[in-house]
Amino acid sequence: MRLVLVGPPGSGKGTQAERLVKQFGLTQVGTGAMLREAIARGTEMGRRVEPLLRAGLLVDDPTVNDVVAELFRAPDRPDCFVMDGYPRTYSQAIAFDALMRQQFLSLDAVVHLTIPDDEVVKRISGRRCCSNPECGVCYHVHARRSKAEGRCDHCGWPLVLRDDDKEETVRRRLGEFHKNTDALVEHYRRQGLVRDVSATDPVDVTFANVLKALGK
Ligand code: AMP
Alpha-helical runs (H) found in the chain: 13-24, 31-41, 44-55, 61-73, 90-102, 117-125, 167-190, 203-213
Residue 192: inside a domain, yes or no? yes
Domain containing 201 — which CATH number? 3.40.50.300
Residue 157: inside a domain, yes or no? no
pLDDT tens digits for range 80-95 = 999 999 999 999 999 9
Instruction: Give me ligand 1 centre to Cα 148, in Å.
Output: 35
Residue range of the domain that includes 21: 2-115+167-213
Residue 134: inside a domain, yes or no? no
pLDDT category, 207, cuts 50, 70, 90?
A: very high
**Cβ 28 vs Cβ 81: under 8 Å:** yes
pLDDT tens digits for range 20-49 = 999 999 999 999 999 999 999 999 999 999
Residue of 6, 18, 35 with the most ligand 1 atoms within 8 Å of its CB, for mutation: 35
Cβ–ligand 1 contact at 32 (below 6 Å):
yes
Whether 173 sits among the annotated catalytic residues: the reply is yes
Residue 121: inside a domain, yes or no? no
Residue 131: inside a domain, yes or no? no
For residue 45, give the amino acid letter.
M
Residue 146: inside a domain, yes or no? no
Q: Whose CA is nearest to atom 8 of ligand 1?
A: 32
Residue 165 in this model has a pLDDT that exceeds 90: no
Residue 34 and residue 40: Cα distance in Å, rounded?
A: 10
pLDDT tens digits for range 130-161 = 999 899 899 999 888 999 999 999 999 999 99
Whether 122 sits among the annotated catalytic residues: the reply is no
Number of structural domains found in the chain: 1
What does pLDDT average to over the chain? 94
Whether 13 sits among the annotated catalytic residues: the reply is yes
Residue 143: inside a domain, yes or no? no
pLDDT at position 178 is 94
Residue 122: inside a domain, yes or no? no
- Among candidate residues 113, 86, 91, the one with its CA nearest the CA of residue 206: 113
